[in-house]
Amino acid sequence: DGGITQSPKYLFRKEGQNVTLSCEQNLNHDAMYWYRQDPGQGLRLIYYSQIVNDFQKGDIAEGYSVSREKKESFPLTVTSAQKNPTAFYLCASSISADSPLHFGNGTRLTVT
Amino acid sequence: AQKVTQAQTEISVVEKEDVTLDCVYETRDTTYYLFWYKQPPSGELVFLIRRNSFDEQNEISGRYSWNFQKSTSSFNFTITASQVVDSAVYFCAGWDSGGYQKVTFGTGTKLQVIP
């Protein structure tokens, strides 16, 4: 079955460490996205990519980095520069920018 | 910039009651798409509907219906005869052809259906 796989489901890190969240899709979608979800704030866009080897900053890109070397993969690195990294992270993909988003199950990151 | 407003933070209803979730989308563009997503307790968002700005026909899918009124920029979602399985957070979202070519989400409405 086609879909988006995010791993791991839960991730724990010490403050000051970088951590990379995985996102893989087999839907053959061109566009991929990373969202952050905090209680009461909805989903906020971190980065998005509409094509391989290209990506753009979203609304809250500071402290995050991404790469898009393959169509299927869009990993997100949470760096030590991100001041409040503890959150629920959702990866999504779509056929095009105006199409419905398909979401993964999310990764809950806790930094202490 | 686009703005999606979901004024209802949390709603509780008793099973079998009807419930309407409100959404207002503000944009300068005349061409845009609106979406509704459901996020059950498991966390994965599920797409429910997409509507473009030129189509003001109401849509019905089983117990779900959507009412889009361009004049008030509202895209409301009604669940008829609610069930416990409808308990979730519902997000309204919008995309328009200007700006950053990205989807903007509202803050979500948490619906609790009490048996």
* Residues in chain B, pLDDT under 70: 1, 98-101
From A76-80, A104-108, B1-5, the region with the lowest mean pLDDT: B1-5
CA angle B91, B67, A98 (to 5 degrees): 55
Of B47, B101, B105, the CB nearest to A43: B105
* Of B83, B64, B77, residue with least CA distance to B34: B77
Predicted confidence at residue B108, as pLDDT, reads 95
Nearest beta carbon to residue A105 from set B33, B37, B44: B44
Mean pLDDT, rounded, for A37-43? 87
pLDDT score for A53: 95
Torsion of CA A104, A89, B78, B103, to 10 degrees: -90
Which of helix, strand or coil describes residue B71? helix
- Picking from B2, B9, B105 by the largest number of A CB atoms within 10 A of its own CB, the best residue to mutate is B105
**Per-residue buried b or exposed e for B87-114, using 16+ beta carbons within 10 Å of the residue's own CB:** bbbbbbbbbbeeebebbbbbbbbebebe
A41 has a pLDDT exceeding 90: no
Higher pLDDT, A82 or A41: A82
What pLDDT does B100 receive?
Answer: 61
What is the reported pLDDT for A96? 86
Nearest to A33 by CA among A2, A55, A11: A55
Residue B59 has which token pair? Answer: 């849509």
Is the pLDDT reported for residue A1 higher than 70? no
Q: What's the mean pLDDT in A37-65? A: 92
Is the per-residue pLDDT at A91 higher than 90?
yes
- Please check whether residue A109 touches B, CB under 8 A: no
The pLDDT tens digits of the residues spanning A55-65 come to 999 999 999 99
Give the pLDDT confidence score for residue B99 in this predicted structure: 57
Q: Could you say which of A44, A50, A104 has the minimum Cβ distance to residue B44?
A: A104
A72 contacts: CB under 8 Å, gap ≥ 6: A24, A25, A26
